[in-house]
Structure 1
Amino acid sequence: MIVSMHPSRGSLSLRIWQAARDTAVAWGRIFYLFAMVWVLLLSPSTYRWPSLQPILQRMYRDTAPILLGFTVLAALICLVITRIVVVTAISYGLSRYALEMVVRVLVLELIPLTASLFVAMRCTIPYATELAVMRSSGAWDARAQRGEALMRLEVLPRVVSGLYASVTLAALSCVVALVMAYIGVYGFSWAGVPGYTRMFGHVFNPSVTLVFVLKTWLSSLAVAIIPVSTGLYAKPRRLSRPGDELNGLVRMFAVLLLIELASLMGNYY
């Protein structure tokens, strides 16, 4: 009986070792891609028209079509959440804190995370699929043999476009949330502007503003880098294991969760 347990122990330790190795390799590739992107962004040759054109085209193509739809969606969500919070606060006699609570919940916490997840689902996760198909079909290797700078022409535009779309949607939806919060409390009247501006200045002190900016940028980087890295280094279908495609999503959501926890600690502790 004791001898029969050795194979299972060996297979378990082997699986643990393989999982740890795959995780370390995956994170190493993510950081390598992050460093490569910043090197390319700092390179003057990136800003010459042959290299800059695909970046600008993808930024426009991936951001402009979703601006209106996401703005309308954000406005509806903000208006509904504002109404719920205000009615709940009034019922508990906390109406004086309702507007500040709305701004903290919507602008500081929900809006950047929602924008990052929207861009991930709409843009960067499909990018991963495109790159994986390009690698598995052999088109990547064929173009690389012809001397094409694929990191500059294919990878960098996708990463920059995802980052730009996430930051743009977060900034736009924050403005929409502030407007909807005001309308939800004061209606279409200018009477509440002085009190609203005082509350806004109280909430967005320098430390909270710094945390908000860092959270928005780090979340945007996470949704821009991690899915693209997953697709870029994806194994061929015949060699991949079940669940390999989901590992990149798990890592992305884990990073977003850590960023959100760090933001909460920075704002409220």
Structure 2
Amino acid sequence: MSRSASIVLGLRRLNRTTIAWLASWWRLAHFSILIFSLGLSPSSYNRKHRPLLAYRLVTNTAPNLVWFSVACALVSLVLIRIVVVSAQSYGLSRYALEMVVRVLVLELIPLTAALFVALRITLPDGIAFAQMRASGVLDTMQREGKDLLRSEYFPRVMSGIFAVWMLAIVSCVTSLILAYLTIYGFTPWALQGYTRVVGQIFNPAVALILMLKVIFFSFAVALIPLASSYYQEDAQSRRSRMWAAHGLSEMLRLFTVILLIEVASLMGNYY
């Protein structure tokens, strides 16, 4: 093969890859718009659709909330103890609480909650839908007149968003309580100083950034794994994206978006 022919083949391959990459992000944007439209529609919460939505919210959140909170509390205790002992050894005890709150509550817990929901709930749902799409089950359901977006995708997306919110909120509150008990013990007399330090950390800007980070984490975790399986693909495109049907493409895209959100929040908090 001549050099010019290999360059042409390389350019064609690059062109196909670029088009497929842009198409995947366009489908994600279109799927997000459809889901948010349903979320703002009162008909999505009427008597007909409310039981299924409530079922998904409870089954995807309640079983994971208890043991994730317990595991997060145990890890938080270990990290809090490490930070406190390290601060005391360097004579920086007065900064121990601030370090604990900034490391655990602002950074680690929201990120861990988002990754947990992705690996536990939304990525397996996305893989299951991709396999159903590849086998023709979803196409058959659509031909029978079933509204897949409203009956299958919307409840799962909303349950993923709600699960991230609940796990992050409960774990952050639990870590704040454990930080107080670990540093000050079972006494109410240090509560005034504790609330003053925590209040200085959670100024309006930091609180807003934390809230936005959790919201964007939940959107990314709930939407990205399910978006690609909603659209039909021809046989050639399906074969070329067989690795995506097993969740690798969605996982890579999800982790990239989460990393960008985390970097943006760090820049907002410390620059």
Q: What is the TM-score of this pair, normalised by structure 1?
A: 0.95
Residue 123 (structure 1) shift: 0.3
Residue 232 (structure 1) shift: 2.8
Q: How many Å separate the matches in 2 of 1:50 and 1:102?
A: 46
Q: Following superposition of structure 1 onto structure 2, how do residues 130-145 of structure 1 map, counting pairs within 5 Å?
A: 130-145=128-143
User: Aligned with 1:49: secondary structure?
Assistant: coil
Greater mean alpha carbon deviation, residues 140-149 or residues 256-265: 140-149
Greater mean alpha carbon deviation, residues 13-22 or residues 198-207: 13-22
Aligned residues, how many?
A: 267
Per the alignment, residue 148 of structure 2 pairs with 150
Asked if structure 2 preserves the Cα contact closer than 8 Å seen for 1:127 and 1:231, the reply is no
Q: How many Å separate the matches in 2 of 1:161 and 1:121?
A: 14
Aligned Cα root-mean-square deviation (Å): 1.6
Q: How many Å separate the matches in 2 of 1:168 and 1:234?
A: 33
Residue 108 (structure 1) shift: 0.4
Q: How many Å separate the matches in 1 of 2:107 and 2:141?
A: 43
Change (3 A) 1:69 1:214: same
Residue 114 (structure 1) shift: 0.4
Q: Following superposition of structure 1 onto structure 2, how do residues 1-269 of structure 1 map, counting pairs within 5 Å?
A: 4-233=2-231, 239-241=239-241, 243-244=243-244, 245-269=247-271
State, as a whole percentage, how many aligned pairs show the same letter.
Answer: 47
Matched residue type, 1:215: K
Q: Deviations over 1:164-201 (max 9, x none)?
A: 00111000110011011112211222232111100011
Asked if structure 2 preserves the Cα contact closer than 8 Å seen for 1:62 and 1:165, the reply is yes
Q: How many Å separate the matches in 2 of 1:249 and 1:238?
A: 18
Gaps of 5+ in 1: none
Q: How many Å separate the matches in 1 of 2:81 and 2:36?
A: 43
Q: How many Å separate the matches in 2 of 1:145 and 1:119?
A: 32
Residue 243 (structure 1) shift: 3.4
Gaps of 5+ in 2: none
Residue 134 (structure 1) shift: 2.0
